[in-house]
A = this chain, B = another copy of it.
């Protein structure tokens, strides 16, 4: 059983209210190291057997057509679990 990780983030120019809310609360919890926070989504797609190039290609296409909204989001990474982002 193989796993593919797909990561989707809001486009930089898009307002990210959730990220703003987080960066606003961090100092109240004593975290003052972070100047900005953005929040996106992470998908784990399971396939039978090891991950192949064909699986990765299908995951990349699914990322564009279903897992992300290309108008407001970027697919930042599609990789076999355990590989460098």
Contact = CB atoms under 8 A, between A and B. Distances in A.
B47 A34 contact: yes
A39 B43 CA distance: 5
Contacts of A9: 42, 44
A6 to B, nearest CB: 9
A46 B9 CA distance: 14
28 contacts: A7-B42, A8-B42, A9-B44, A22-B43, A22-B67, A25-B66, A26-B62, A29-B65, A29-B66, A31-B62, A31-B66, A33-B55, A33-B59, A34-B62, A35-B47, A36-B44, A36-B45, A37-B43, A38-B43, A39-B42, A40-B41, A41-B41, A41-B42, A42-B42, A82-B85, A83-B84, A84-B85, A85-B85
